Amino acid sequence: MTVDVDDGDDQVEPVVEMAPAVPLRRTFGRLWPYTRGGRSWLAVLLVFVLAGPLVDAAAIWLFKVVVDDVLVPHRLGLFLPIMLAYAGLTVVAGGLRFADQMTSTWVSERFLLALRTDLFKHLQGLSLGFFERRRLGDVLARLTGDVEAVETFLLSGIVDAVAYAAELAVFLAVLFYLRWDLALVALVVAPLFWYTARRFSALVKAASRERRRRSGSVSALSEETLGNIALVQACNRQDWEQERFLRESLARFRATMEATRLRALFAPIVDVLELAGALIVLGLGAWELARGRLTLGELLVFVTLLSRLYGPIRGISRLSNGFYSASAAAERIIELLDQKPQVSDPPAPLRPARVRGEVTFDGVWFRYPGTTRVALFDVSFHADPGETVALVGPSGAGKSTVAKLLLRFYDPERGAVRLDGIDLRELALADLREHIAVLLQETLVIHGTVRQNIAYGRPGATDAEIVAAARAADLHEFVSRLPDGYDTLVGQHGRLLSGGQCRRLAIARAMIRDAPVLILDEPTTGLDAESARRILQPLGRLMRGRTTIIISHDLLTVRGADRIVLLRSGCVADTGRHEELLARNDGYAHLDRLHRRPLQGVP
């Protein structure tokens, strides 16, 4: 592998933007609710964590007793009970460590579970517009890597901080009890620890934010390249993609090295500070020993306790580095959690008992978020229950936008879209979409069996209903010939099915939804004449008795519609039946001629 990609990153548009900085307190407040359900265990964990240093301090104290009361005065009778006490303390310490490890893993994994599932739920509720703006790979990286990284921030962070604080308190108390003056001297280096930690954490945070951003970029590029592999290979863009990937990976590598360099530099600096503290105390201790103001046992215990004291001080300083790097991940999660869906349920949604399927667009104006161009411009049309309304017009006229508004992926800027006379904004989103079945241009097939794909339209559908839907979609015969019938896996994106079969699968799925309103977005796109002809019949069965909004370039498929709405540049240019429009609208007649031309000469 060559690693000589120029780092002239500044001129290149960033793959993924840096998430906005969030103060630590807010990060904490935003993530704390996810500990719900595990808080009592967190309290139990704290008890274990607090008990640990007490047991340790007792063991160290026993050591002093051994030296001063057994070894120095040669009173060996006390040896056995002291050893038994030692053994007892070791067993208790081991038990505490086990319980501590199990409980802390449980608490942190529960926290991650809650955070990740909530984030996933939140993402699923976000509007289509969010996904159209964001790079999916980056969103996935936040859902996986960043969630994982944030754990340090909240749980292990808190627990370790409490544990260190407890150790500090216990050991300091014993040190002060032994010799308060020596203890004070030992603490002289503490502010230096603190100052160094503060300086380093700011630098570590900057490097960590960069690292997380680049991880998102790497993930986004992987998803885009591998998801479009056919295009990449067909256009021979592998080298270019490799270069982009390498550039982001290198940037991530550099950011990781920078964070590691800072952390690695921090450790020896702390060692030097610690050694300085210990040497001062040792010097003073030896002086006191020589003058008979300190026993040997006391000095040994003092130095041992001192080494235990610096452990937590060093730990707390290290923790602040970990805190800051985890908060870089937390910022990326909070940015997602702060996203509000562009459309949401009304506070008190109307719940009509029965929907007949009357669709009305009433003076609808619409602009895609973040754009200035008006996509729909005072669009009005009406479909009575059971009627078929066709939306036709040149590419970019706004036909698919009408469908998106009917599904309430977006809300109109002005005007209203109504179902049975009720503004869609007054209905619950789930209820609205329950009443609409949709056949998109790109047929969506999930990785699963034929049966699962059809039943995706209505969970809980019986086998008989699935077969009936497949029959109506002219799919049953084909499925019956498959080796595993309805249990045949269709492969990711329906790779094992032809375009026409995928379309019929989608028809079966729409059929089983049995919704009063149907949206057909270019139902014959991408199919050859024979396949297109073969789906017309099942489509007809699907449309029967339902209000159908059919979007098509192809005037031949929409001639029979009850009404045709001719859209041009986001406006309704004309409305009427095929013959009426043909007679009075030159633009429509022109479109019609365009569609006929390729057919001329066909026998």
Ligand X SMILES: Nc1ncnc2c1ncn2[C@@H]1O[C@H](COP(=O)(O)OP(=O)(O)OP(=O)(O)O)[C@@H](O)[C@H]1O
Binding residues vs ligand X (CB under 6 A): 132, 368, 371, 375, 393, 395-401, 553
Which of 335/554 has CB closer to ligand X?
554
What span, in angstroms and rounded, lies between the C-alpha atoms of 419 and 356? 8
Pick 58 or 571: Cβ nearer ligand X: 571
Kindly list the distances between the CA atom of residue 70 and the CA atoms of 55, 75, 135, 143, 216, in Å, as whole numbers in the listed order.
21, 5, 70, 60, 62
| Closer Cβ to ligand X, 376 or 466, answer by number | 376
Cβ within 8 Å of residue 408, ≥6 positions away: 343, 417, 424, 425, 429, 432, 433
Residue 1, C-beta contacts closer than 8 angstroms, at least 6 positions apart: none
Beta carbon nearer to ligand X, 186 or 376: 376
- Of 394, 430, 413, whose CA–CA distance to 554 is shortest? 394
CA distances from 65 to 31, 74, 180 (A): 47, 12, 20
| Local structure of 491: helix, strand or coil | coil
> With respect to ligand X, which residue has the nearer C-beta, 304 or 525?
525
DSSP 3-state assignment of 392? strand
Tokens of 23: 């103060």
Residue in this structure with the two tokens 């006490």, named with its chain if needed: 85
Q: Is 452 exposed, middle or buried (0-12, 13-18, 19+ CB in 10 A)?
A: middle
> Least distance in Å: CB of 515 to ligand X?
21
**Token pair 């003056």 in the structure block, residue:** 181
Residue 444 CB, nearest approach to ligand X (Å)? 16
Nearer to ligand X, 243 or 378 (CB): 378
144, two tokens:
């996986």
The number of helix segments (H) and strand segments (E) in the chain equals 21, 10
Please report how close the Cβ of residue 549 comes to ligand X at its closest, in angstroms.
12
Q: What are phi and psi of 341, to 5 degrees?
A: -60, 140
**Closest to ligand X by CB, 106 or 365:** 365
Among residues 86 and 368, whose Cβ is nearest to ligand X?
368
Q: In the bound complex, what is the minimum distance in angstroms from residue 467's beta carbon to ligand X?
A: 34
Nearer Cβ to ligand X (174/406):
406
Minimum Å gap between C-beta 568 and ligand X is: 10
Entry field: residues in the chain: 603
Closest distance to ligand X from the beta carbon of 411 (Å): 14
CA dist 594 and 239 (Å) reads 41
